[in-house]
Structures are given as structure tokens and as C-alpha cells.
Chain A
Amino acid sequence: EVQLVESGGGSVQPGGSLRLSCAASGFNFNTFWMHWVRQTPGKGLVWVSYINNDGTSTNYADSVKGRFTLSRDNARNTVYLQMNRLRAEDTAVYYCARDIANSFFDWGQGTLVTVSS
């Protein structure tokens, strides 16, 4: 059974940093791209970032480019989203997702990030 478990969310002041983790199991992790998608409470889904299977390629939404960094450790079956210079508008539930056919096939349960003074 595929499982994706996010962690690392919490409350942080504007300008602060957080690192989210997504631990994967139930599939051959090092053969799949992975994504982060976020959802502001009560609002829609927004794609944040992707990383390819060996970590050599990433891309980001314009709203987080230069502030967020996505990486992966295939030995630990984990992806990491380092979030710096956080803003109030980054407040959201962050989901990690497994990519199959450029679609988000499997999702974690999400982790809430709150940026507030």
C-alpha cells in the first residue's frame, strides 16, 4: 500500500523558515517524481514544486521560486521542502504527492503551515 506521510508543519513568524518532510513507503521511491501541492484553508489547490526521480531536476511555482527548495533522499525514501522567507500568504495545508503520468496519483494527509506574527 502506498503511503505518504508529511511532517514538519507548524506556526512560524513572517520571514522565518520551516522544513517539511514527506516519508514514502509502499513503492519503489527512486523511480518516481514527487510534488508538493498546497491549499489555503477554504480555498483551492495550488501546485508548488516538483522533483524528478534522482533529484537532478526541480521546478517551482513563481510564488515560491527563490524562497523554497525541494530535495530528496532516495536512501531514506523522503522528500524535503525547505521554506525560507515565509510570508502570510504561504499559510496553507501542504500535501506531498506521487507523480504518475504527470498527474498526482497518491497524496499524503497534509501538514498545516501557519505564518503569522
Chain B
Amino acid sequence: QSALTQPASVSGSPGQSITISCTGGSSDVGSFNVVSWYQQHPGKAPKLIIYEVTKRPSGVSNRFSGSKSGNTASLTISGLQAEDEADYYCCSFVAGVTWVFGGGAKVTVL
């Protein structure tokens, strides 16, 4: 199972919106509404910020939103803040009961 494709880096200024894409195929992103997104700060464990494509766990800021079109899922961070600087990983459920992550995108707040 090949990793999902994410841009290596995305940057934006405080207050701006940025979008991170996550491209898979017909056996993962395209077939299941089971895409999740994780935020990871250096030296910390990942944190779930979006699940089932669009849902936010309790306590996650509504500045984070998810969407999906075909084989590509997206994470949008609106009102970018310094604390959003981190690595972001997408993940999809895959046919055959496995999971696949993206390679990760480093978000830089300029």
C-alpha cells in the first residue's frame, strides 16, 4: 500500500487560510469516507483534529475543517495562528482493513 500524497510543506501568514491536500486512490480515499487528519508538534504524539472527512473531535478548534472530492481529501486551516505551526498527516482506511498515512506536510507560519 503506497502512502497517500501530501505536499511536503505549506506556509501562510497569520490570519490567512491554507489548505493541505491528500491524494490517494480508488481503494482508499476514493472509496471510504474514513479520512482523518493529525497534527504533530515536535517531540509530541500526534493529535487527531479531523475524522470521517469532516468531523472535529470535541475541543478541536473550528478553524480546522476537512473535505473530500474523489480521491483527494483536504484540510483547511483558517485564521492561521503561530500555534498551528506543526506537521500534519492525513490517513485513510483501506480496503482489506488496513490504514495508510500520507507522508506529512510541514506547516510554517510566516
Contact = CB atoms under 8 A, between A and B. Distances in A.
Contacts of B45: 95, 107-110
B3 A104 contact: no
Contact of B46 (A101, A102, A104): A104
Interface in A64-117: 95, 100-110
B98 A44 contact: no
Given A44-B89, A47-B98, A62 B46 contact: no
Contacts of A110: 45
Interface residues of A, number: 23
Interface residues of B, number: 26
| Dominant secondary structure at the B interface | strand
A103 B52 contact: yes
Nearest to A95: B45
Interface of A: 35, 37, 44-47, 50, 57, 59, 61-62, 95, 100-110
